[in-house]
Structure 1
Amino acid sequence: MKKLTLMAVAISVALTACSNVSDKTSTRTADNRATDTRDTGAQDTGAKYAESWDDLAQVDERPKWFQDAKFGIYTHWGPVSTANIGLEQGAGWYGLMMYMDEAYDWKNGIKRKRNGKTFPSGIYKQHTKNHGHPSKVGYKDIIKKFNPSQFDAELWAELFAKSGAKFAGPVAMHHDNFAMWDSEVTRWNVKDFNGIDVTGELKTSIEKRGMKFLASFHHAFTWVYYANAYQFDATEETADLYTDRHALTDFKPSKRFHDEWYAKLVEVVDKYQPEVIWFDWWVEELDEEYRKKFIAYYYNKGAEWGKDVVVSYKNTSFPSSVGVYDYERGRPNKLKDEYWMTDTSPGAWFYRQNAQFVEPNEIIDILIDIVSKNGLMLLNVPPNPDGSIPQEMQDMLLNIGQWLNMNGEGIYETRPWKAFGEGPTRIRAGGHKVEKQKIAYTDKDIRFTRKGDNTLYMFVLDKPQADIIVKTLSTDLTLLDGEIDSIEMLGSGQKVHWQHNSEGLVINKPHTIPNDYAVGYKINLKIAKEIGIGGEDDPQ
């Protein structure tokens, strides 16, 4: 039996016996669990940061490498992917909805009704049809069906590198509480069930290709996710998967849940040293002391490793002084002072039968819009249940990579300009889920980025149908810090013909366009030096 060993802190977690899992893991019983003996306010001797928000505000929460990266990838994959096989409509929240024999507005504690009668959720009905009644075939049994036979970390990492991503990694743990790493903290892990360490293999393959490593965590919401399971197949013996017995409307997690949440994070930090920890929602519902404790632990580990690590969060999980705010499938409609990020997906989050993906053009336009507003894109890749990546996703990632090969100079290592852009197409209101608006950018929509003071990049978000007129750069305005010296089209050696006047910057319609997506230009500025700085006489 494995021993519970966490490198810099003694952490023990409630692990209860379960006779329904493999013999390999059944030896981890309640006799081997322990509790977290550290006081949540304690601090390791010699640690750089104390467990307080004021002290943690000293961290460099937006390190340069992260602001330079602009584009990363993560992967929603695991038992949920298998659960969705054969379903008419897949679900990322499968473990929540499969136990809804009566559809429920759980946020407001209201049962849904049609014609005055309750009804089961669609996933409950489909699960019963395809897998069996949830009292007989619960989520613990879905885990046993997960078969990642085609997973190849080298192929994944090579594809991510070709896409132009600067960091990448797995969803280490989704709401289903299943660890996609070789865990000594929880028996519900991919190594014990499937014989592979997905997180470890990806770390090696990703870092081999010069990308930094990310691990994402969604298990704070597990407390809600499985609450109804006790009406079906959950028992006290499976509480280490399904959490402690509680009502669906009881949003206050137990101490055991907090301890396990923390211990899983620490294990991944110690074992895999990710440069980015990304958090999904519901962390804000956990006790603040646990949140402070983990943030301090992670940043102290980063200092110990000599790495500039990053925490990304949603809602009010953490103060902005200790992490980078994330918009899910969204973005602001204006330039933001503080660097931020978006997580999005070209289709469903997890595998879905007959999945529909957006076109690469849409993802590229969104990426440009994000970067122009001082943000970063984290793009989801949803592998097939067996671990292979859908051909449509492979083609999309390669197309994005080809575009970035030509235009990445205006994306990577850039900073926002004074104005993010111009044009008729705007998000009506910024925030989460604004991609539902499904806007389509035109050749009149322009976005800007910059490097230093003398290099401005400009992207036209559709193939130009006529001369390009950039009103923001009119000589009547004073946004440019100097005269335009020259203009180049990114990814093309053709000469750019242009005029600069009170109408704006007018660029003649290009004869050829090097790609099927947004067109990038590099505008080189001639900056006049200030005079008289040394006290010399008036040069006039």
Structure 2
Amino acid sequence: MPEVRATQPENSITMQDPATFAEVKMDFPIAAGPFEPTWESIAKNYPGTPAWLREAKFGIWVHFGPQAEGRSGDWYARKIYQPGTTAYANHVRDFGPPSQTGYMDVLHAWNPTKLDPAGLVKLYDEAGAKFLIVQGVHHDNFDNWNSKYQPWNSVNVGPHRDLLGEWSKAAHGAHMRFGVAFHHEYTWWWYQPAFGSDTTGPDAGKPYDAARLTLADGKGKWWEGLDPRLLYGIDLRAYKDVANVQYRPEKGIFQDHLDYAHWYTTRWSLRIMDVIHKYDPDFIYTDGDSSGPFSGDKTGTGYKCDCVQRVIADFYNHTLATRGKVDTFSIIKFHHAANGIVSTVESKYPKDIKTDQDWIGENAAGDWFYKPDIVYSSRALELYLLEEVSRDGSYAVNIPISPEGAIDPGAATMLREMGVWMRINGEAIYGSHAWKRFGEGPLDANGKQRLLPTGALNKPQAEYHFTTSDFRFTVGKDGSLYAFVLEKPKPGEILKITSLASPDKPITSVKLLGSSATVAFKLAADGLEIIMPQHLPEQDVLGFRIQ
């Protein structure tokens, strides 16, 4: 780490406008090959998103790490330094005030002895999932693998296990595709509350651990040899819009810390490349709400450089050298449509069918990190999947894992029920693409089409009801049209799909998936009428194959 200037008064420096800062061309080495570290070279040489993503369609997000220890949901490592939050209260209750016991002590305590990646992957496979997104490192800057560049990792601290290695082995053993997510771009501004102190109460004015501990302070303690700066970063609260921002800065360059910024972004890159070359993932994932990491804008605040282009070029050159072809991809949230880049849509779905780029819808059951009292519902999970795939996306759901390394019994039941549903309806999901419209149904009280509530899967989704006139559509690999009725009809009820009032081709058959009963149907002037048989499958969300 380069020397940094003495800490300046809080909110005393205006960050440089990124529009006036030229993008820095990084110089760390990458794997040799045809992919050069430019968007033009990546787009030119990339053969297209591998077919396996469309074939897979459904995956599991393993958003797991030491922040689960707080049982407080997402962003625990930041919120324990923000009095008034649930995480702060839970941390004081379980560990003590952060002026005495900070997040590094949580890392030391974390030991998920019940974590069994092979057993969980077996359950995910039974649920019908075909790929995993595994947390490599979150905003807390703790690497869940035997990291070459970050000593604060799961082999050195906490469980003393190569967690990413275990997930990789389990996924490959189940012939499941495996990607790794990296969220450590945020760290340097995200951790700034850890350099503060309580403003009221018995610990008012007492610095939190990030503000007071140094490498020398670890001598003779469990963390001897571990520099707290490599976990928390450095105090950057002198920059306006950094210290007290609720979510993230709007934009800016840390112009008084350019040497540090260059070091920070190089290290960010080398850690991802370490995973690429150790574990050979099928895709990599970078988090953020900017156009890409280190853009100088939004979550990319702080520096503006081409490190992500270098990382992706290294990834694709490595894939080509080791596999003989590039059947991998890179996820950059909010990046414009470009060959070589896949996007995600977090906790919502596009307004309509989205075919301008390949994308994965993603959300969590309950929260991104574990918290209690989650309502698990296989019906809600099936409906959310349909909202995504009917718009031409894939879908990954996070199943929160407890601090001990287990999932809740309700989550296990939900996944097993999902597996039953997928075995019946998978022909409409795997390898499918969108029809000419994603769905139909009566308008709600606001004059809008009914949609499953967005956000994390929980009670609102479990209790939401559609009508038997609400449908979602997909087209299967064989060209068959599939229609899912989103509220379970009664035996003998007549359904009507108005989108098929004037079908492109004659309708010759209608099959109720999961049933051997003959389905009567009639093409009327205002749509296709389907008469439900007297005996229906047990599942709540029913699908029809229409040929």
Normalised TM-score (structure 1): 0.79
2:88 to 100, 109, 124: 124
1:55 to 23, 41, 44: 41
Structure 2 gaps of 5+ residues are 4-23, 197-207, 216-227, 243-248, 255-260
Deviation at 1:224, TM superposition (A): 2.1
1:263 to 263, 270, 275: 270
Deviation at 1:92, TM superposition (A): 1.2
Larger RCO (CA within 8 A; separation ≥ 6): 2
- The letter for the 2-side match of 1:310 is F
The verdict on how the C-alpha distance between 1:45 and 1:491 changes in structure 2, with shifts beyond 3 A counting, is: closer
Residue pair 1:61, 1:321 contacting (<8 A) in 2 also: yes
CA distance in 2, matches of 1:300, 1:381: 33
The verdict on how the C-alpha distance between 1:61 and 1:188 changes in structure 2, with shifts beyond 3 A counting, is: farther
Other-structure match for 1:488: 511
CA distance in 2, matches of 1:144, 1:341: 34
Residue pair 1:333, 1:430 contacting (<8 A) in 2 also: no
Other-structure match for 2:172: 207
Cα deviation code 1:507-526 (max 9, x no counterpart): 112222223221111112xx
1:64 to 51, 63, 75: 51
Deviation at 1:244, TM superposition (A): 2.4
Cα deviation code 1:478-522 (max 9, x no counterpart): xx3321122212122211111123121111122222232211111
Other-structure match for 1:167: 131
CA distance in 2, matches of 1:167, 1:372: 19
Cα deviation code 1:305-330 (max 9, x no counterpart): 234112222234x6543312211100
Residue pair 1:327, 1:431 contacting (<8 A) in 2 also: no
- The letter for the 1-side match of 2:165 is G
- The letter for the 2-side match of 1:154 is A
The verdict on how the C-alpha distance between 1:507 and 1:216 changes in structure 2, with shifts beyond 3 A counting, is: same
Residue pair 2:366, 2:457 contacting (<8 A) in 1 also: no
Deviation at 1:434, TM superposition (A): 9.4
Identity of aligned residues (%): 29
The verdict on how the C-alpha distance between 1:133 and 1:300 changes in structure 2, with shifts beyond 3 A counting, is: same
Deviation at 1:435, TM superposition (A): 7.8
Deviation at 1:124, TM superposition (A): 2.8
Cα deviation code 1:143-188 (max 9, x no counterpart): 0010111111211110110110110142111111111112122111
The verdict on how the C-alpha distance between 1:204 and 1:126 changes in structure 2, with shifts beyond 3 A counting, is: closer
Deviation at 1:299, TM superposition (A): 2.0
Deviation at 1:452, TM superposition (A): 5.5
The verdict on how the C-alpha distance between 1:132 and 1:356 changes in structure 2, with shifts beyond 3 A counting, is: same
The verdict on how the C-alpha distance between 1:129 and 1:43 changes in structure 2, with shifts beyond 3 A counting, is: closer
The verdict on how the C-alpha distance between 1:45 and 1:169 changes in structure 2, with shifts beyond 3 A counting, is: closer
Other-structure match for 1:97: 79
2:318 to 301, 304, 308: 301
CA distance in 1, matches of 2:73, 2:434: 37
Residue pair 1:328, 1:432 contacting (<8 A) in 2 also: no
How many residue pairs end up in the alignment?
461
Cα deviation code 1:389-435 (max 9, x no counterpart): 11111111111111000000011011111121211266689998598
Residue pair 2:59, 2:396 contacting (<8 A) in 1 also: yes
Secondary structure of 1:40's counterpart equals coil
Cα deviation code 1:331-371 (max 9, x no counterpart): 01211123322111121211113x22242111101111211
Deviation at 1:233, TM superposition (A): 0.7
1:377 aligns with 2:404: no
Secondary structure of 2:306's counterpart equals helix
The verdict on how the C-alpha distance between 1:328 and 1:57 changes in structure 2, with shifts beyond 3 A counting, is: same
**Residue pairs, 1:391-410, within 5 angstroms:** 391-410=409-428
- The letter for the 1-side match of 2:287 is D
Normalised TM-score (structure 2): 0.79
Other-structure match for 2:203: none
RMSD: 2.7
Residue pair 1:74, 1:170 contacting (<8 A) in 2 also: yes
CA distance in 2, matches of 1:427, 1:95: 39
CA distance in 2, matches of 1:95, 1:42: 30
Residue pair 2:441, 2:449 contacting (<8 A) in 1 also: no
**Residue pairs, 1:256-335, within 5 angstroms:** 256-281=263-288, 283=293, 284=295, 285=300, 287-304=304-321, 305=323, 306-316=325-335, 320-335=338-353
